[in-house]
A = this chain, B = another copy of it.
């Protein structure tokens, strides 16, 4: 892993705070709030994108509206050795698999999966997961209801 210096100052943090709250806030509004010229904000945002501090601008869509009512977490034990992520990378390619985390303790992964319903989950496990070589076992946890789903990080005051 490479050492990267991000060197964010107060103004950067304020920009991030505003944009995390609403990614569509325009430069002019941010500039007014911070008492700066819009072009200065533009420059900083471009830099934050280049430094990979800002990774993406994303529209959060209601899963129900797209008929993806089912959310599950699946623990997957694999033959992957430490540092190897062959199975993890294959899992990451599946569109319904939104997250893949390499976890401690179990030689395994935790993945987050959205499907239309339980049938969709069964299909995914039968048709897609079972095709991946090196999976030893799975344990599925089904979400009944999501109380909170935020992507907003805690941004420090300094």
Which A positions have Cβ atoms within 8 angstroms of B? Answer: 4, 6, 8, 16, 19-20, 22-24, 51-68, 71, 73, 85, 88-89, 91-92, 95-105, 109-110, 114, 141-156
A56 contact set on B, CB distance < 8 A: 22, 59-60
**Chain A facing B: main interface SS:** mixed
A152 contact set on B, CB distance < 8 A: 58, 98
Contact A102 B147 (CB under 8 A): yes
Residue from A62, A104, A142 whose CB has the most chain B CB atoms within 10 Å: A62
A95 to chain B, nearest CB (A): 5
A101 to chain B, nearest CB (A): 4
Contact B58 A151 (CB under 8 A): yes
Residue from A22, A114, A145 whose CB has the most chain B CB atoms within 10 Å: A145
Considering only CB atoms, which chain B residue lies closest to A109 in the complex? B147
A54 contact set on B, CB distance < 8 A: 59-62
Partner of A59, one of B4, B57, B63: B57
A91 contact set on B, CB distance < 8 A: 147-148
Measured CA separation A1–B28 after assembly (Å):
41
21 A-B pairs with CB atoms under 8 Å apart are A8-B65, A16-B61, A16-B66, A22-B57, A52-B62, A54-B62, A55-B60, A56-B59, A56-B60, A57-B58, A61-B153, A66-B156, A67-B156, A71-B101, A91-B147, A99-B146, A99-B149, A99-B150, A101-B143, A103-B142, A104-B143
